[in-house]
Amino acid sequence: MATAAPTHLMTMTGIVKLFPGVRALDGVDLDVQAGEVHCLLGQNGAGKSTLIKVLSGAHQPDEGTIHWIGQPVKLPTPMAAIRLGIATIYQELDLVNDLTVAENITLGHEPSRLGFAERRTERTSAVALLKRLGHPEISPTSVVGTLPAAGKQIVSMARALSRDVKLMIMDEPSAVLDQGEVARLFEVIRDLTANGVAVIYISHRLEEIRAIGDRVTVLKDGRTVATGLPAKTTPTADVIRLMTGRNIEYVFPPRSGQAFTGEPLLDVAGISRAREFEDISFSVHPGEVVGLAGLVGSGRSEILETVYGARRYDSGSVSVGGKALHAGSVPASVGAGVGLCPEERKGQALLLDQSVVSNVTLASLRRFALGPFLRRRKETQAATREIETLDVRPADPQRDARTLSGGNQQKVVLARWLLKGCRVLLLDEPTRGVDVGARSELYALIRELASSGVAVLLVSSEVPEVIGLSDRVLVLRDGRIVHDGPAEEIDESEVLGLVMEGSPR
């Protein structure tokens, strides 16, 4: 007897999405069959999140078509996607913390009668969905903001299941779940697919892909480089080869070539923070650049913020110049000579509607104080020296920071810590949103800072950037260091292999 051909539930063809200065998707093709788990793989920045936002109606494609059960469709809003039966569970959960569990689950389609909400029906429905997900202990009357991260993930899944779902998109659903919770998640997925529901599953963990997936599509640099690969039998080496191979467009300055011996400037000894990272130990010497490579959620940014004092560690110690820092104190870290250029410079580092001068001197205001007043001329002179040193363009110290390009905004943040005289510089995604030319300038600046004796610890989602800029590379997986060695002794494929299937060594 002939086997029935698989039903194509959804097909995306030639999807292009443009943002200012960025071609996030450059002709992506994807087809999903009813009743399958279709896994989407790619490095950070490959276009996975943008693609699912197009499919969920949050972004509109600039080119390409979407077919739903053979018919062309437009998805102008998330509600249009929901009406078709497309439910999305984002990595960054979109729950309302001040509402109850039951209210979040039924949000947007609350049961009502004669114009009044039926709270009892709402709670009963929530209880049934939470039980289906293996978490009957979550109370439907609990306020969502009081739940742990794993509990919020379960509530988000319950909300997706509360509608008539035909395609469920899961973006890193296991990131905050323990092993038992992942097993229950897989039971729910198998139940869904047995009833004809399709699942798009995004994860960097190949063991999960093999356990739950049917087919795999790989994205790289906004393009589909392979699709329809069998999830359980495609060799890991082939997957990694597809995910890498990009042309490195940037020229990295040469490493110093020196042997970093003697006392480190930054010493991190066995720090742990619940559910974020565990037993992290490393050191950075004067003049050394150490790169942290790992997936989003591996603990990279959290470690930098902890060293900076923005997060308090549960155990361990952080020392600068042999002196232990007070845990969870930004003033103590800054006073010891630690500076942070955060991942989101616009929201976390810059006063966008203030002048370049005000941004550069923000960490050094005491030196310009005269009683309750600021010596504005001295402040402007000092800031001007730093922006000239870093070649901030345009060289107007009174210009609002908002008007600068991404690369020049990053230079302003660096100028702040140069003026402060920091000894340890923490860089989180230092070239995010920066054009190619400005990247090369920033690379040279980072290497010059290191050459002057600054200890640099950097995080980047771009593995070639971590390897090219660093003297030594640490690889993180699930909050643990699984590799620590010279940058010239590891390549991009090896890093990806460690973060996807690595074990401590």
Question: Phi/psi at 412 (nearest 5 deg)?
Answer: -65, -40
**Would you state the pLDDT for residue 2?**
47
In tens digits, the chain (505 residues) has pLDDT values of 445 555 789 999 999 999 876 788 999 999 999 999 999 998 767 888 899 999 999 999 999 999 999 999 999 999 999 999 998 888 767 788 889 999 988 887 777 777 777 888 888 989 998 988 888 889 999 998 888 777 888 888 888 888 888 999 998 887 767 677 788 889 889 988 998 999 999 987 788 899 999 999 999 889 999 999 999 999 887 887 888 754 445 578 888 888 888 899 999 999 999 989 999 999 999 999 999 998 877 889 999 999 999 999 999 999 999 999 999 999 999 999 999 999 888 888 999 999 999 999 999 999 999 888 889 999 999 999 999 988 888 888 999 998 887 888 999 999 999 999 999 999 998 887 666 557 778 898 899 999 999 999 999 988 888 999 999 999 999 899 999 999 999 998 899 889 877 544 4
The Cβ-side half-sphere exposure at 23, using a 13 Å CA radius, reads 10
Q: Give the chain's domains with CATH numbers.
A: 7-85+165-247 (3.40.50.300), 93-163 (no CATH), 266-350+419-501 (3.40.50.300)
Distance (Å, whole) CA 410 – CA 318: 26
What tokens were used for 233?
């039998």
Question: How many Å apart are CA 423 and CA 418, to the nearest integer?
Answer: 9
Tokens 């899944």: give the residue. 157
C-alpha 109/C-alpha 164 separation (Å) is 12
**Residue 122: is it exposed, middle or buried by C-beta count within 10 angstroms (0-12/13-18/19+)?**
buried
Residue 254: what residue type?
P
Quickly count: other Cβ atoms within 10 Å of residue 388's Cβ. Answer: 12
Point out which residues pair with 481 in neighbouring strands: 476
pLDDT of residue 245: 56
SS3 231: coil
Contacts of 344 (CB under 8 A, 6+ apart): none
Residue with token string 């004809």: 196
**Tokens describing residue 2:** 């002939």
The first and second tokens of residue 214, run together, are 């049917």
In whole angstroms, what is the distance from residue 416 CA to residue 470 CA? 22
CA nearest 322: which of 269, 244, 366? 269
Contact status, residue 92 vs residue 76, Cβ threshold 8 Å = no
Q: Which residues contact 82 (CB under 8 A, 6 or more apart)?
A: 57, 108, 163
* Tokens linked to 78: 């998330």
Polymer length of the chain = 505
Largest CA distance in the chain: 91
| Cβ(208)–Cβ(478) below 8 Å | no
Instruction: Count Cβ atoms below 10 Å from residue 363 Cβ, excluding itself.
Output: 15
CB 152 within 8 A of CB 93: yes
Query: Is the CB of residue 321 less than 8 Å from the CB of residue 336?
Result: yes
CB of 153 closer than 8 Å to CB of 141:
no
3-state helix, strand, coil in the chain (%, to 5): 35, 25, 40
Residue 318 DSSP SS3: strand
With contact defined as beta carbons under 8 Å apart, do 354 and 327 qualify? no
> Is 32:198 a contact under the CB 8 Å cutoff?
yes
Distance CA 148, CA 383 (A): 44
pLDDT at 116: 74
| CA–CA separation, 81 and 262 (whole Å) | 59
Give residues with Cβ within 8 angstroms of 494, minimum separation 6: none
CB atoms within 10 A of CB 145: 11
Residue 44: predicted pLDDT: 67
> H or E element: which one contains 332?
helix 330-335
CA 413, chain centre distance (Å): 21
> What is the pLDDT at residue 310?
95
* Secondary structure (DSSP) of 421-475: T-SEEEEESTTTT--HHHHHHHHHHHHHHHHTT-EEEEE-S-HHHHHHH-SEEEE
Please identify which residue in the block is written with the tokens 């699912």. Answer: 52
- Tokens (6 digits) for 97: 């913390």
Q: What is the spatial distance between Cα 349 and Cα 342, in angstroms, rounded to a whole number?
A: 7
| Helices and strands (DSSP H and E) totals, the chain | 17, 24
Query: Beta-carbon neighbour count of residue 20 at 10 Å?
Result: 5
- Rounded to an integer, what distance in angstroms lies between the CA atom of residue 354 and that of residue 364? 16
Is-contact 427 338, C-beta < 8 A? no
Assigned token pair, 364: 């050094």
The DSSP call for residue 202 is: E
